Amino acid sequence: MSRIRHSIISALICLVVSGVSLGYAQDQELPRPLPETGSAAPAQGGRFITIDFDNVDIHLFIKYISELTGKNFVVDKVVQGNVTIISPTKISVDDAYRVFESVLEVHGFTTVEAGSVIKILPSARARSQNVEMLQAGAPSSPDDRVVTQLVQLKHSSPEEIQKVLTPLVSQTSVMISHAPSGMLIITETLSNIQKLLRIIETLDVESREDEVAVISLQNASSTSLAKILATIYQGTAAAAGR
The model's pLDDT over 153-203, given as tens digits with 9 standing for 90+, comes to 998 899 999 998 888 887 777 788 888 888 888 888 788 888 889 899 988
Of residues 84 and 17, more confidence is placed in 84
Same domain, yes or no, for 160 and 135?
A: yes
Q: Is residue 237 part of a domain?
A: no
If residue 125 lies in a helix (H) or strand (E), which one and from where to where?
Answer: helix 123-126
Q: CA–CA separation, 199 vs 195, rounded Å?
A: 7
66 within a domain of the structure (yes/no): yes
Q: Are residues 64 and 143 in the same domain?
A: no
- Between 34 and 77, the higher pLDDT residue: 77
C-alpha angle with apex 197: 194 to 203, nearest 5 degrees? 155
DSSP helix/strand/coil, 35: coil
Residue 46, in any domain of the structure: yes
CA-nearest of 103, 99, 107 to 123 is 107
Q: Which of 145, 192, 148 is nearest to 169 (CA)?
A: 192
118 and 39 in a common domain = yes
Between 150 and 142, the higher pLDDT residue: 150
Q: What is the pLDDT of residue 50?
A: 81
Q: Report the chain's mean pLDDT, rounded to a whole number.
A: 73
Q: pTM of the predicted model, to two decimals?
A: 0.48
Residue % of the chain over a pLDDT of 90:
14
Domain range for residue 75?
A: 33-125
Look at residue 99 in the predicted model and tell me its pLDDT. Answer: 86
Q: Which of 98, 94, 120, 97 is nearest to 109 (CA)?
A: 120
Q: Do 116 and 147 fall within a single domain?
A: no
DSSP character at residue 180:
G
Which pLDDT score is estimated for 209? 59
- Cβ atoms of 189 and 144 within 8 Å: the answer is yes
**For the ranges 103-112, 130-139, 192-201, which has the lowest average pLDDT?**
130-139
What proportion of the chain, given as a percentage, has pLDDT over 70? Answer: 66
